[in-house]
Structure 1
Amino acid sequence: MADNAGRLRGGRKGRAGSMSGLGPEGEKVRVARIGALLEIVIAHPPVNALGAALRAGLAAALDQAEAGDAAAVLLRGEGALFSAGADIAEFGQATAAPSLSALCSRIEDLPIPVVVLLSGPALGGGLELALASHLRLATEAAQMSLPEVHLGLLPGAGGTQRLPRLVGGVAALDLMLSGRVIGAVEALAIGLIDRVIPTGTEAVPAARAAALALAQAGTWRRSGELRDGFRDVGAYRAALDAARQARAGARLPAPGRIIDCVEAALLLPLEQGLAFESAAFGDLLAAPESAGLRHAFRAERAARRLPPAVARIEAPVPQRLAIWGAGGAAATLARRALQSGLAVMLADPQREALVAALEAIAAAQEAEVQAGRMTPAARDADWARLAPAIGPARLGEADVVITTRDDLVLPAPRAVLALGVMPPPGGMALSLVEQAQPLAELVLEGAPPARAALAVALARRLGWQVIPVGPGGPVSAALATALAEAVAHMEARKVPRAVIAQALSLAGIAGEGRGGRPSAVEEVIARRCFGAMANAGARLIEAGVARDAAVVDTVAIAAGIVARWTGGPMHQADRRGLLVLRRDLKVWAAEAPALYAPAPLLDRLIGEGRSFAA
């Protein structure tokens, strides 16, 4: 590397903390000259997303580093995070210069050392910036991930080429195929970062000192030139073979393309590998699976939005839950609440029902202990927080009450969730769909905002995915009914059940789907099913049960009615085109008018030139 002694001797003096903005990008990227060090701070809350304006700011800061006499660069994020990565809103649009990939290459090729300090999350493109730097430091609170696979994509700014050079094929494939988050200790162990700054040490001064020390040493390592990860070529190739075999016949293309890129890192020089990665990224970006996954990501964030009057309240986290009614789902609810650390009162007017629920809880916990998923101490702690009661006298002691009975009487107002029954005045209807993360449709309308906020806080503590909906649902039941009726209609028309099952599997309906090309008949079956659900979704929106198409799609995915990569029935309708969908519905309505007669919302959207997502 170039000798930096002159820069170190001749660097301008600057007081620590002196900042200079970079024109219109000054709010997103801040630059400080501290002696011979140029410090670049990403300051674009809330997540330091690497959008076009921020990338332009970083490029301007690198211009300053190259044109001036700085001896080293320190790159860090403001506050408790580095960067959550690319701005997903820009995907599918023309990329404004500089691209993130070009920015990473420029960092790697800079003639002075670039040290990155990771504190908090460094995700996706944020981690790729770090991979291009010459020394990677992290606080103990740092979290690192390349989660692009969850959007049907791959790391497109050099991550598939630089990461394997640092950590090898096994670790690189693990991180990129799973998208999992790792901490600083694991990152250091696999070679992803170079040093962990221990708790108690001021991270920024330590990183500044490390950057100047690296400049003083006069040599540093560029990730693209490293071969550390290729030391054991046999293990590397074995990891590639195992990953391909594990995903043979998989429905989504992104994992296979990630494996191809990791193989390219072994076989190709860096520049050719980057070109290979760029082409693969472009292919995936244009794929319908990625479009569906990106839509699902955006739809979920929109669907979870609470009414403003509820969102502005910071409710305390509930500590005590009462369940009125020991039948039905009460035992499962009680177990989940106990596992979440809540004190639970399980009450019922009938002793027999209460005893049966307690026995069910005990049996389920004993099975968990026998399977090694629960310790005896945890079981005993749960039982210590469980209080059975006959009658409703003590329900008022709880922060929140869930009732599965329609005879609830409380001595004083409380936040009440009604599961499967009509809610009392001021209460909230609750619908649950048990999945890996249970889906909770909550009708907050009509409840005092403070009680609604408390109910939401309880639901989140229980690990539920909360979707606010209007009365008249549940949305999940209406969509599942539409799908079941579409299938029943086709069976009544003598379409073989096996053919229907094959079509649904290929289309990602009622399952995650599998690879394969559908026949013409199977495509029609899938279109009829998606059409029925989209029509039902439009009716739900018209009735105020679902706030918008984002709610319909999110519920359909969260309830397991369609696979996430489909984006949901409303997204599928938009992709097909509302004019085409309305034409199809009119044809099918001749056979099943109750199911397929087009919802008036379709006519309105078509007349306004809009889509469900617009």
Structure 2
Amino acid sequence: MTLNPSADVVTRELRGKVLLVTIDHAPVNALSADVRRGLLAAVEAADADSAVQAVLIVGAGRNFIAGADIREFGKPPLPPALPDVCNRIEACTKPVVAAIHGAALGGGLEVALAAHYRIAVEGAKLGLPEVQLGLLPGAGGTQRTPRLIGAQAALDLILSGRHASAKEALALGLIDRLGSSGDILAEGLAYVHELLAAHAPVRRTRDAVAPGDRAASLAAVTAARAETAKKSRGLFSPLKIVDAVEAAIEQPFDEGLRLERKLFLECLDSPQRAGLIHAFFAEREVLKAPETRDAKPRALNAIGVVGGGTMGAGIAVAVLDAGLPVTMIERDDASLARGLAHIEKVYDGLIARGRMSAEKKAAVMTRWNGSTSYDALTDADLVIEAVFEDLAVKQAVFAELDRVCKAGAVLATNTSYLDIDAIAASISRPADVIGLHFFSPANIMKLLEVVVPKRVSADVVATAFELAKKLRKTPVRAGVCDGFIGNRVLAVYRAAADAMMEDGASPYQIDAAVRAFGFPMGPFQVVDLAGGDIGWAARKRRAATRNPAARYVQIADRLCERGWFGQKTGRGFYLYPEGSRSGTPDPEVEAIIDAERARAGITPRSFTDDEIIRRYMAAMINEGANVVHERIALRPLDVDVTLLYGYGFPRYRGGPMKYADMVGLPKILADIREFAKEDPLFWKASPLLVELVERGADFASLNQTA
């Protein structure tokens, strides 16, 4: 007997005494309304059929249930609600077994927790990642998980949003059995028959007694609340998660469920959810570049890196971590030895922290090869140049690559600002040249700007996106201009911060206001971290083409002239005594600022934190609009993802363009026009921003126009 309810996405079949319930909702078995209806109907059918003695729930394809159906995000909810489905599964009078393979995430894990028994096979991943979308598990996850595995383990899982392997899930107590084969259906059926033979009773998670005593559980909640308040500064849902888990300890199950639902709905109404959902979709949408639709990536079996400095070594580590071989080129043996030392320092740090074994490091390093001769790159499929930020130096490197690299090799430059079209034009194969702008530290930062010059082949762009996937980076397509997307926008909002500093705000007040907004660091802290000399070199390079009518704040130059480059020199905008990583305000810097104000004839005035943020964000948004207007970024969401992943923009605000939509574009434009009364050249409203306000549109309306 086979019945196919709910548009065939949930089927049920009687296998002897077992009702086999299969979820088949491509591509990931997400919990759509049809799936929820099908599960509810299946459990009710099992309870009503005397021939059924047990229920087995499995997922077709590669997953059990990967979570909510993202196609339903933002739409009115359709019945049945997932909490009702989970409660009905748990209330079933016959044993219900969840057989898990692939992903059991979010609502998928909540369905499994509502079952009476759980089995998983190797490769399964179990988690409650709702916190990453500004939510909390809303179908019993905060109540059943602590009852099953204890408050501390539950808080770790839910607050981190991480995925537990099947082996860890067994150790935690999330599952009851680890299958010995990859055949989830066979494993599940065998487990159900074993339970029936043993006359195993219905065993409801709501009645489970958490491991450990109540005092230890409450202590875990108290510790988590303090840690969350510190680590998740500004975020709404994490502390709600702690409250919900506390209710699992303190209150009866049904009361805990009611509180969970109340807190879930509060999270649902939070503006942070809108920002986090936007970020979730945007990071998937950036993978769709026009050149990648039809072009096939070239081979990526051997990678070359030219340059063994901090950036080159970081890139090499990222490539090694992806399982690919790396050949590093440096100008002499001493430089090559330093490059190797930079790489080994990363892995030795992981060993010291217990995150890598010496044996694993040794295995990884067998894929590294170094040379002082470009001829070692003859077999490389892709070479990334990461040398000094000087056009002539980079063109000399590319001349060598043009000479030695095989036909079809992709030649990439890691420049942050320079004209990649000029680099491409200097060699015989411009169609093979692309920009791959990594962010420091390159082995950690997720952003990769894929900079697309005029003459590049589409398959080279596709290869760059494929490399990003292998390196587990988030690629954003950018056009060629000074600074591409991220550094171009950065230069403008940094200039706004400089102007406020010269006009009367201290760098320390500006940094504090920006941190309070949600950035991990303020702009002057970032300068000190990156090294003030880097921006100084860029400013000197641009001096010849700078508009003489444009305002130019010289305070940072005065610090650089003294050799105060930030953390690496022990002082910059902040003092870093004895190698400290956290700076303290420097009275001498404030004296230099006062002197520069006097030189520029500026009478300082005070700024509120709100005024600082209005100017900082207006500058960022306006330049983001210009970048989209000029097609350097294809869509506003490309700007958002760049700032989220490369510049520490608070994820819960969605990115600058999403933030602008939430504030309202007319308000942003009004601010810009107000600031333009002081400096009309800097505060010139973007034509795109003006156009959108005139037609009552927003940036979101442009996000499907790549």
Shorter-chain TM-score tier: 0.7 to 0.9
Alignment pair present for 1:457 and 2:457? no
**Matched-pair contact (CA < 8 Å) for 2:47–2:92:** yes
1:44-69 deviation digits (Å, cap 9, x = unpaired): 11111112232223233334334434
Equivalent runs, 1:516-535 vs 2, <5 Å: 521-535=608-622
Residue 415 of structure 1: CA displacement? 0.9
- Letter in structure 2 aligned against 1:443: V
Q: Residues 367, 570 of structure 1: CA spacing in aligned structure 2 closer, same or farther, 3 A cutoff?
A: closer
Residue 339 of structure 1: CA displacement? 4.6
Aligned to 2:487: 477
Q: Residues 563, 485 of structure 1: CA spacing in aligned structure 2 closer, same or farther, 3 A cutoff?
A: same
Q: Residues 527, 238 of structure 1: CA spacing in aligned structure 2 closer, same or farther, 3 A cutoff?
A: same
**Matched-pair contact (CA < 8 Å) for 2:434–2:460:** no
- Letter in structure 1 aligned against 2:218: R
Higher deviation after alignment, 410-419 or 443-452? 443-452
Q: Residues 391, 434 of structure 1: CA spacing in aligned structure 2 closer, same or farther, 3 A cutoff?
A: same
Q: Residues 533, 380 of structure 1: CA spacing in aligned structure 2 closer, same or farther, 3 A cutoff?
A: same
Q: Residues 149, 376 of structure 1: CA spacing in aligned structure 2 closer, same or farther, 3 A cutoff?
A: closer
1:324-356 deviation digits (Å, cap 9, x = unpaired): 4566733443344345443333335x44xx632
Aligned to 1:205: 186
Aligned to 1:437: 445
Alignment pair present for 1:498 and 2:508? yes
Aligned to 1:358: 337
Residue 101 of structure 1: CA displacement? 0.9
1:234 alignment partner, one of 197, 201, 215: 215
Aligned to 1:266: 249
- Letter in structure 1 aligned against 2:249: L
Q: Secondary structure at the match of 1:397?
A: coil
Q: Secondary structure at the match of 1:596?
A: coil
Alignment pair present for 1:104 and 2:86? yes
> For residues 252 and 375 of structure 1, what CA distance do their matches in structure 2 show?
35
> For residues 135 and 380 of structure 1, what CA distance do their matches in structure 2 show?
42
Equivalent runs, 1:59-70 vs 2, <5 Å: 59-69=40-50, 70=52
1:56-94 deviation digits (Å, cap 9, x = unpaired): 232333343344343322111112211111124534443
Higher deviation after alignment, 477-486 or 118-127? 477-486
> For residues 256 and 324 of structure 1, what CA distance do their matches in structure 2 show?
47
Q: Secondary structure at the match of 1:544?
A: coil
> For residues 222 and 435 of structure 2, what CA distance do their matches in structure 1 show?
51
Q: Residues 582, 396 of structure 1: CA spacing in aligned structure 2 closer, same or farther, 3 A cutoff?
A: same
> For residues 323 and 365 of structure 1, what CA distance do their matches in structure 2 show?
16
2:287 alignment partner, one of 273, 284, 304: 304
The alignment of Structure 1 onto Structure 2 pairs a total of residues equal to 584
**Matched-pair contact (CA < 8 Å) for 1:400–1:455:** no
Q: Residues 242, 448 of structure 1: CA spacing in aligned structure 2 closer, same or farther, 3 A cutoff?
A: same
Alignment pair present for 1:155 and 2:137? yes
**Matched-pair contact (CA < 8 Å) for 1:444–1:470:** yes
2:684 alignment partner, one of 597, 602, 606: 597
1:48 alignment partner, one of 21, 24, 29: 29
Equivalent runs, 1:196-595 vs 2, <5 Å: 196-199=178-181, 202-212=183-193, 214=195, 217=199, 219-226=201-208, 228-229=209-210, 232-249=213-230, 250-307=233-290, 309=292, 313=296, 315-316=298-299, 318-324=300-306, 329-347=311-329, 350-351=331-332, 355-362=334-341, 365=344, 368-369=347-348, 372-373=351-352, 385-390=367-372, 392-403=374-385, 404=387, 405-407=394-396, 408-409=398-399, 410-411=402-403, 412-420=407-415, 421=418, 422=420, 423-424=423-424, 425-426=430-431, 427-435=433-441, 436-444=444-452, 446-472=455-481, 473-509=483-519, 511=521, 521-595=608-682
Q: Secondary structure at the match of 1:584?
A: helix
Q: Secondary structure at the match of 2:229?
A: coil
Q: Secondary structure at the match of 1:144?
A: strand
Residue 176 of structure 1: CA displacement? 0.9
- Letter in structure 1 aligned against 2:104: A
| Segments of 4+ moved more than 6 angstroms | none
> For residues 389 and 83 of structure 1, what CA distance do their matches in structure 2 show?
49
Q: Secondary structure at the match of 1:280?
A: helix
Q: Secondary structure at the match of 1:248?
A: helix
2:146 alignment partner, one of 159, 164, 177: 164
Structure 2: tracts of 5 or more residues without a match: 388-393, 425-429, 524-605, 702-706
Higher deviation after alignment, 115-124 or 323-332? 323-332
> For residues 358 and 490 of structure 1, what CA distance do their matches in structure 2 show?
45
> For residues 360 and 274 of structure 2, what CA distance do their matches in structure 1 show?
43
- Letter in structure 1 aligned against 2:97: V
> For residues 507 and 378 of structure 2, what CA distance do their matches in structure 1 show?
52
Under a length normalisation based on structure 2, what TM-score does the superposition of the two structures give? 0.77
Higher deviation after alignment, 298-307 or 405-414? 405-414
1:78 alignment partner, one of 33, 45, 60: 60
> For residues 646 and 498 of structure 2, what CA distance do their matches in structure 1 show?
20
Under a length normalisation based on structure 1, what TM-score does the superposition of the two structures give? 0.88
Alignment pair present for 1:186 and 2:168? yes
> For residues 591 and 173 of structure 1, what CA distance do their matches in structure 2 show?
51
- Letter in structure 2 aligned against 1:274: L
Q: Residues 512, 110 of structure 1: CA spacing in aligned structure 2 closer, same or farther, 3 A cutoff?
A: farther
1:178-201 deviation digits (Å, cap 9, x = unpaired): 12211122212222111111126x
- Letter in structure 2 aligned against 1:439: L
Q: Secondary structure at the match of 2:58?
A: strand
- Letter in structure 1 aligned against 2:32: G
> For residues 553 and 21 of structure 1, what CA distance do their matches in structure 2 show?
43
> For residues 653 and 457 of structure 2, what CA distance do their matches in structure 1 show?
37
